[in-house]
Amino acid sequence: MRRSLFFIPAFPLLFLGCQLTDHSERDEVSTEHITFTRSGYENVDPDELPKLTFASSEQDMGKVIQGARVEKRYAFSNTGKSALVISDVRSTCGCTVGKDWPKDPIKPGEGGEITVSFDSEGRTGMQHKTITVVANTDPPSTVLTLVGEVVGPLPAK
């Protein structure tokens, strides 16, 4: 009985809270039955965006002994006209990890490196890993590749 008395006064507040939200300030785009809120991204001149240019988008690990960890660096530069911001570096697999990349904006003409680590534990044969770099560019993502062959572990001594 005491519990239901507590919920009775709170129940009307749920409806009042829903009615107080004002969405009239939104700039919206409607497409048939779906409505999307504009991001403002479409108002940017593509020629003014930063451009992420890699010296090489593919790194070859060569032959790796199973269980070894390999680190590779991808050098890049901002060849665009505004500051480049890398927001994320991710992989489709837990064995490949983006470890280090610049967190501060990179001015036009400047560059940096992205370090990627590959853990070969439990892997064998040819490996082809992809790493996605997400930045304020058009397109917003760039795919890097890491390839190599993992060979059996060294025999125990």
pLDDT tens, position by position, 36-72: 554 455 667 788 899 999 999 999 999 999 999 999 9
Number of helices (H) and strands (E), helices first, in the chain?
A: 1, 10
Residues 6+ apart with CB under 8 A from 142: 52, 54, 57, 132, 133, 135
| pLDDT on residue 24 | 45
Would you kindly state where each structural domain of the chain is located, as residue ranges? 2-43, 46-151
* pTM of structure: 0.70
Contact 64/86 with Cβ under 8 angstroms? Answer: no
pLDDT of residue 10: 52
More confident residue, 19 or 68: 68
What is the per-residue pLDDT across 69-116, written as a single tens digit (0 to 9) for each?
A: 999 999 999 999 999 999 999 998 889 999 899 999 999 999 999 999
Q: Which residues contact 114 (CB under 8 A, 6 or more apart)?
A: 73, 74, 76, 86, 89, 98, 100, 101, 131, 133, 144
Residue 70 in contact with residue 59, Cβ under 8 Å?
no
Note whether 65 and 151 are within 8 A (CB).
Answer: yes
Which of 135, 128, 35 is closest to 76 using CA atoms?
A: 135
89: number of Cβ within 10 Å: 21
Q: What is the CATH number of domain 46-151?
A: 2.60.40.10
What integer pLDDT is reported at residue 140 of this predicted model? 93
